[in-house]
């Protein structure tokens, strides 16, 4: 349990720009910042970050929130764990009691798996550095490939011994880790993604066997530094007859090979600084480049490049250089990824190493200076690359040139930006010594055979969009007075609205939230929607707490329903802007729309009118109910009941007139 004072310290310290910048490259956009949304396949920046309000929101998919809300969604953490994440980031100490066995047992599957993976990473490292077999076999392998100890420590590599007596599985059970998380278990919600790390395999006799026995190990981190899974390699002496040298953790709820990039955690700052990412194939390729002083590099871990991996890179930079082995297989691999990268709006260059070399072997043959110089001098754009290396452009084949033109046109056609396409068409015409109109015609022919980038983007971001929880809890008419009252509380709940005299005749300040609450209670009225009532009650309760800010409090609320609703209402200016608008503010042609710049100064006018309008709607409905009751034959025959209803009708009719007079032209509900 984290006490409220510590929670407030964390919320006060957490800066939305700092937090989001760890995962997304942001660029200034007026008073705000923007970048590619980390929650959907965003091809044009739609993710806005507001330093002034300390929250973020994607205007395409609707995701976002406060710093704690962002971390919860991005890292899929619980509210307390997101607070712990931010506390660690900002160096805030949290004093917590030890968890009971029951509380440990109740921890979520994802959290338990991450904890087990972190323990396993340290176990593998200990085997590498502290055991005779680890030193003689595992460490000898890395040093034999020329890696320095500081690079091995940087990537936290390890070793899993081939021993039944001394195994990770046995040690994990001794440490109290559950077998449920060591093996794989069926996930009813998503059968493809199991529950459990898969560090162990369960035999028919019930015994556990280490999945990675006899392998050197690489932990695979999420972009925020959690160990999602592992990659293991059978050592050279044991590879004879082994079809698969490398093995990865199985797909699970925390690890998917197609969604992770090896080295991204270590490289993200360097990528951001250089505004460029190098993409290689294997684990040792990444380590070799780091050893040569090139840190802005990631690996696809031996798998074909995926859209999810491209999106991870694109959030940090628009520029990528793909480095593949200089053999025929490397050329094929690079061909497959070019169009995917171009279609995502990336600026793509290619670099082929000399035949027979990969980034690791090439690094062992050259100094750091030679390595970096070769990379700078041999990067080419995809058109130059295809003209030089395309498999279809072989001499002696009569249709080789035609195939090359269509190959280049196919790549240009997937580029979403029209200006960039035009530039590449001109470049291709010069590079291939062909009329520009022919290249353009070939590109247009390719474009006509595929959906436009806009259609693809809409299909991905809109067609399959899952409604947020906020959209589920808002009433159908979310522009009604009740939603406006909740929005007013979220935006201005802590602001002093007026002063009242207490029992001793002293002036006491009344906040907006308190004024709304007392005004409703005066007429024995309450908000009809439970979540709105909770927002009002909590705002009143927190009103005079030091440094209380309603908006920050609610968009960082422990309950997801309130967080999502607060984000929706807090970031939507449409509702309140109509309340603050006056006839004199109506924009003339050519003028900017009215803003809420002076809204704080007009709360004394808007809040009473809003509450009166809400009361008016409630009382009008009550009057209609009375009229319906008086029409019933049995009520007409009961003179006493009829008289009571008539008196109630007269009283409420007077109240309606008073409220209507207060509302004037500002009656919102009809």
Verify that 268 and 322 share a domain, yes or no.
yes
Any domain includes 667: yes
Verify that 219 and 269 share a domain, yes or no.
no
Any domain includes 204: yes
- Alpha carbons 229 and 252: distance in angstroms, whole number: 9
Any domain includes 95: no
What pLDDT digit, counting tens, does each position of 120-141 carry? 999 999 999 999 999 999 999 9
Helix (H) or strand (E) holding 99: none
Any domain includes 101: no
Verify that 478 and 404 share a domain, yes or no.
no
Verify that 302 and 238 share a domain, yes or no.
no
Q: What is the dihedral of CA 554, 559, 561, 564, to 10 degrees?
A: 50
Verify that 307 and 198 share a domain, yes or no.
no
Which one, of 175, 179, 163, 182, lies nearest residue 117 by Cα? Answer: 182
Verify that 282 and 201 share a domain, yes or no.
no
The CATH number covering residue 268 comes to 3.40.1360.10
Q: What are phi and psi of 5, to 5 degrees?
A: -60, -45
pTM for this one? 0.66
| pLDDT at 360 (0 to 100) | 87
Domain limit, last residue, from 90, 118, 148: 90
Residue with tokens 């009473």: 608
Is residue 160 exposed (0-12), middle (13-18) or buried (19+ Cβ within 10 Å)? buried
Is the Cβ–Cβ distance between 302 and 281 less than 8 Å?
A: yes
- Alpha carbons 215 and 234: distance in angstroms, whole number: 5
Total of domains in the chain: 4
Any domain includes 663: yes
Domain limit, last residue, from 453, 483, 514: 453
Q: Which domain holds residue 387?
A: 264-453
Three-state DSSP at 31 gives coil
Provide the residue count of the chain.
670
Verify that 208 and 325 share a domain, yes or no.
no
Is the Cβ–Cβ distance between 273 and 218 less than 8 Å?
A: no
Any domain includes 459: no
Can you give the C-alpha Rg of the chain in angstroms? 32
Token pair for 633: 């034959």
- Alpha carbons 561 and 491: distance in angstroms, whole number: 17
Q: Which residues of the chain have pLDDT under 50?
A: 239, 241, 391-393, 452-479, 583-598, 665-670
| pLDDT at 205 (0 to 100) | 87
Verify that 594 and 541 share a domain, yes or no.
yes
| pLDDT at 187 (0 to 100) | 74
Tally of CA atoms within 13 A in the half-sphere of 642 that contains its CB: 10
Verify that 223 and 330 share a domain, yes or no.
no
| pLDDT at 100 (0 to 100) | 61
Verify that 39 and 77 share a domain, yes or no.
yes
Verify that 345 and 412 share a domain, yes or no.
yes
The CATH number covering residue 218 comes to 3.90.980.10
Is the Cβ–Cβ distance between 347 and 341 less than 8 Å?
A: no
Domain limit, last residue, from 399, 423, 453: 453
- Alpha carbons 265 and 220: distance in angstroms, whole number: 9
Any domain includes 460: no
Any domain includes 198: yes
Verify that 298 and 437 share a domain, yes or no.
yes
């Amino acid at each position: 349990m984290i006490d409220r004072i510590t929670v407030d310290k964390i919320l006060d310290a957490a800066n939305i720009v700092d937090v989001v910048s760890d995962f997304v490259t942001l660029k200034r956009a007026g008073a705000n910042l923007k970048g590619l949304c980390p929650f959907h396949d965003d091809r044009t920046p739609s993710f806005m970050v507001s330093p002034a309000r300390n929250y973020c929101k994607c205007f395409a998919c609707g995701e976002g929130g406060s710093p704690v809300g962002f971390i919860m969604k991005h890292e899929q953490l619980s509210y307390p764990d997101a607070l712990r994440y931010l506390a660690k980031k900002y160096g805030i100490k949290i004093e917590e009691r030890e968890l009971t066995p029951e509380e440990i047992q109740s921890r979520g599957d994802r959290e338990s798996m991450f904890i087990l993976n972190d323990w396993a990473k340290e176990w593998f490292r200990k085997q590498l550095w502290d055991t005779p077999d680890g030193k003689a076999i595992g460490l000898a392998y890395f040093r034999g490939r020329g890696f320095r100890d500081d690079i091995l420590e940087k990537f936290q590599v390890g070793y899993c011994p081939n021993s039944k007596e001394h195994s990770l599985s046995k040690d994990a059970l001794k440490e109290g880790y559950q077998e449920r998380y060591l093996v794989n278990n069926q996930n009813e919600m998503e059968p493809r993604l199991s529950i459990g790390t898969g560090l162990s395999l369960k035999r028919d006799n019930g015994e556990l066997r280490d999945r990675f026995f006899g392998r050197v190990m690489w932990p695979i981190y999420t972009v925020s530094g959690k160990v999602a899974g592992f990659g293991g390699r059978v050592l050279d002496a044991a590879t004879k007859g082994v079809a698969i040298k490398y093995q990865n953790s199985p797909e699970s709820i925390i690890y998917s090979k197609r969604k992770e990039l090896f080295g991204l955690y270590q490289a993200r700052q360097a990528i951001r600084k250089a505004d460029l990412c190098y993409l290689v194939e294997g684990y040792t390729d990444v380590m070799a480049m780091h050893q040569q002083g090139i840190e802005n590099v990631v690996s696809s871990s031996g798998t074909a490049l995926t859209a999810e991996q491209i999106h991870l890179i694109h959030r940090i930079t628009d520029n990528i250089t793909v480095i593949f082995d200089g053999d025929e297989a490397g050329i094929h691999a690079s061909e497959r990824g070019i169009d995917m990268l171009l279609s995502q709006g990336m600026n793509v260059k290619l670099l082929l190493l000399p035949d027979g070399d990969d980034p690791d072997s090439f690094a062992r043959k050259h100094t750091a200076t030679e390595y970096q110089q070769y990379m700078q001098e041999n990067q080419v754009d995809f058109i130059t690359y295809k003209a030089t290396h395309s498999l279809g452009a072989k001499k002696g084949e009569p249709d080789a040139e035609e195939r090359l033109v269509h190959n280049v046109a196919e790549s240009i056609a997937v580029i979403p930006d029209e200006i960039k396409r035009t530039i590449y068409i001109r470049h291709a015409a010069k590079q291939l010594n062909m009329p520009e109109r022919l290249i353009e015609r070939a590109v247009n022919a390719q474009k006509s055979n595929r959906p436009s980038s806009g259609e693809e983007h809409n299909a991905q971001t809109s067609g399959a969009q899952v409604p947020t929880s906020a959209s589920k809890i808002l009433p159908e008419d979310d522009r009604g007075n009740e939603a406006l009252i909740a929005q007013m509380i979220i935006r201005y709940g802590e602001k002093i609205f007026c002063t009242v005299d207490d029992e001793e005749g002293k002036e006491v300040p009344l906040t907006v939230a308190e004024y709304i609450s007392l005004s409703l209670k005066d007429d024995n009225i309450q908000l009809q929607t439970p979540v709105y009532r909770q927002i009002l009650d909590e705002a009143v309760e927190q009103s005079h707490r030091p440094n209380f800010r309603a908006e920050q409090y609610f968009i960082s609320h422990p309950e997801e329903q309130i967080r999502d609703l607060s984000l929706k209402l807090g970031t939507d200016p449409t509702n309140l802007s109509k309340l603050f608008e006056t006839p004199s503010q109506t924009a003339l042609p050519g003028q900017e729309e009215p803003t809420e710049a002076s809204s704080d100064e007009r709360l004394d006018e808007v809040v009473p009118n809003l509450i009166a309008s809400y009361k008016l709607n409630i009382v009008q409905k009550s009057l209609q109910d009375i009229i319906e009751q008086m029409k019933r034959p049995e009520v007409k025959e009961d003179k006493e009941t009829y008289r009571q209803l008539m008196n109630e009708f007269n009283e409420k009719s007077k109240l309606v007139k008073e409220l209507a007079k207060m509302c004037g032209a500002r009656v919102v509900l009809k």
